[in-house]
Amino acid sequence: MYGDYKRKFFERETKANKNLSSALFRSTYQYEMRAEKDICYMSYEEIVRVLHQLDLKESTCKQYLISLRRYLDWCVENGVVKNNVLRCGKSLGDIVYEVSDIVSAFVTPQVIEIIWKKIPVYSNRSLARAILYCYYWGLWDGDNQNLYHLSTDDIQNNTIRLHNGKIMDVPQYVVDSLRRCASMEVYAVGGGDNARLRKYIELMGQTKHNVFRGYGWKYKSNPLYQNKRIEEYGAQALQYTRGEYTVQDIVRSGLFYRTVVESVRDGLDIYNDLQTDGELSYDGKYNQYQKYNKVLNTIGSSMCWREFKKQYRGWIRFLDGVTGQLLIDGKDRGKHPWEIEL
């Protein structure tokens, strides 16, 4: 249904452009299906939001926009739509900035609690809860290897040593959740009265102390299957929000929250520094720039302050939700995230 115009558009595309356009439309297909319309009928705001949800690198976003502009030009030329909404007087750079500046949802630790409590008990709630905590507190490395290898042997008090070598500090309730997950011997299959219990097994390179183990003996020697399982647990945890939150919403919100909390603890004025145009000056403020880099390193991020500021400047409006919790009447100044009662 949403490919008829695109097939005709491809007839005039060069091979290189066709490859790029194919990649673009494969990525946008699910959003077109959800909206029940071809992307050419979407408004400017809808297209920007779709591109944001794809979580693209800046260079890829520009290439997709160029391809999408060509497609919309073709649609105008062939009477499919009246105008190209991406020919709106804005440069590609301006549109890319708008794409990256959208905040789909800001998630606080309290919202994480609300999310996992929506999960039915029979749907492996403890597993899903632990996965959400790993997303939020920086224990997930993007390809599941940290989670695949995560063991209670790696946990000392509130400190966790990850497979990639990073050492992370997390709240006590996260540690408790991970230990509880590792102690489980069975998991539920099915739901309600039809739920059946199966026994967890250790996959290749795992021990009984691993937090996220697998099941099904035929998959025991296949770590790729366990990677898939971890992704399914995360998806299961979020399906009960009815699309309100994505994994990237959880990951990005966690990074923002941890950065703000650590910055406040170190006496940095992150509210004003995020709004300041340009870089922090070298005359008297360079040490603050270094402090922000230290904060980001402390929370396990590979970002520098310049990159963080570029990605999160649009999140300024959420700062009160974080610092307000920490600085009520000045009594809680400097509290660590794991000292805050949920």
Structural domains for the chain:
4-101 (1.10.150), 119-239 (no CATH), 248-339 (no CATH)
The first and second tokens of residue 79, run together, are 């009477």
Nearest to 214 by CA among 176, 194, 184, 235: 184
pLDDT above 50: residue 86: yes
Q: What is the pLDDT of residue 340?
A: 42
Q: Residue 263: CA atoms inside 13 Å, Cβ hemisphere, count? A: 24
Average pLDDT over residues 113-118: 83
pLDDT above 90: residue 94: no
Report the alpha-carbon distance of residue 163 to residue 132 in Å, rounded.
18
Q: What is the pLDDT of residue 226?
A: 63
Q: Which of 64-68, 93-97, 304-308 has the lowest mean pLDDT?
A: 93-97
Q: Which of 37-51, 263-277, 298-312 has the lowest mean pLDDT?
A: 263-277
Indicate the pTM of the whole model: 0.67
Q: What is the pLDDT of residue 84?
A: 94
Above pLDDT 90, what percent of the chain? Answer: 19
The first and second tokens of residue 223, run together, are 């770590």
| Mean pLDDT, rounded, of the chain | 79
Task: Name 196's bridge partners.
Answer: 189
Contacts 24+ apart (CB under 8 A), 319-324: 319/260, 319/270, 319/271, 319/274, 321/106, 321/108, 322/108, 322/256, 322/257, 322/260, 322/261, 323/260, 323/264, 323/271
User: Which pLDDT band, with edges at 50, 70 and 90, does 159 fall under?
Assistant: very high
- Whole-Å CA distances, 80 to 40, 73, 85, 178: 8, 10, 13, 54
pLDDT above 70: residue 244: yes
Average pLDDT over residues 207-217: 71
Ranked by mean pLDDT, the top range of 96-100, 162-166, 188-192 is 162-166
Average pLDDT over residues 122-150: 83
Report the alpha-carbon distance of residue 52 to residue 87 in Å, rounded.
19
281-324 pLDDT per residue, tens: 544 555 778 889 999 998 988 888 888 887 787 787 777 666 55
